[in-house]
Amino acid sequence: MPLRAVYLLSAPGPRGRPRTYVGFTHDPWRRLRQHNAGRQKGGARRTSGRGPWQMELYVHGFPSDVAALRFEWAWQHPAASRRLQDAKPRPLPGEQPIAFALRMLPRLLWAPPWRRLPLRLRWLRPPPGPALRPAPPPHIVMEIDPGGPRPRPRKRPASTLATPPACTLCSEPCEVSLGVWNLWGRLEAFWGR
């Protein structure tokens, strides 16, 4: 099952007010590099030139891209989301953007479409301040991974032939790159023509 992650980024902002960004990805490590590299390298317009960005956490375990994208949209637009009508989806006076995003996260996890999903919340940096309030649903696994997202191991192309097969005529290893005419020349040499 592919990783479908909705992540929260933070970066230092003007006047000591950090910036935040919520997004969706299949590969958090690659996406973080793109955000820090700028718009030309695939980063979002809102994050280009405003870094360096750090990934705080991501939520994963969504059954489909659509479910993850809906969660992302609701986290980005809590005031417009029908799922959070009773959660006071406006920042409190003087509340930092990161604190607001973390205040909305457990409320989203308790919202009807997502509270029954087997989601996992992975912190990539130590959680700032006290634990999430209200606490997420009890079935949601909280993981702490201080190493941050790691690159996926690169897939090495599988060799089609581990050992070249032996020729049935001369018992020498066959070369895959031989063409038909070259093979015919070797057969002529074998038969002495």
pLDDT tens for 109-162 read 999 889 899 999 999 887 766 678 888 888 898 888 766 556 556 666 655 445
Across all residues in the chain, what is the average pLDDT? 79
Q: SS3 of 71, please?
A: helix
Pairing mode of beta strands 54-60, 120-123: antiparallel
Single pTM value for the model? 0.71
Alpha helices for 111-175 (secondary structure H): 112-115
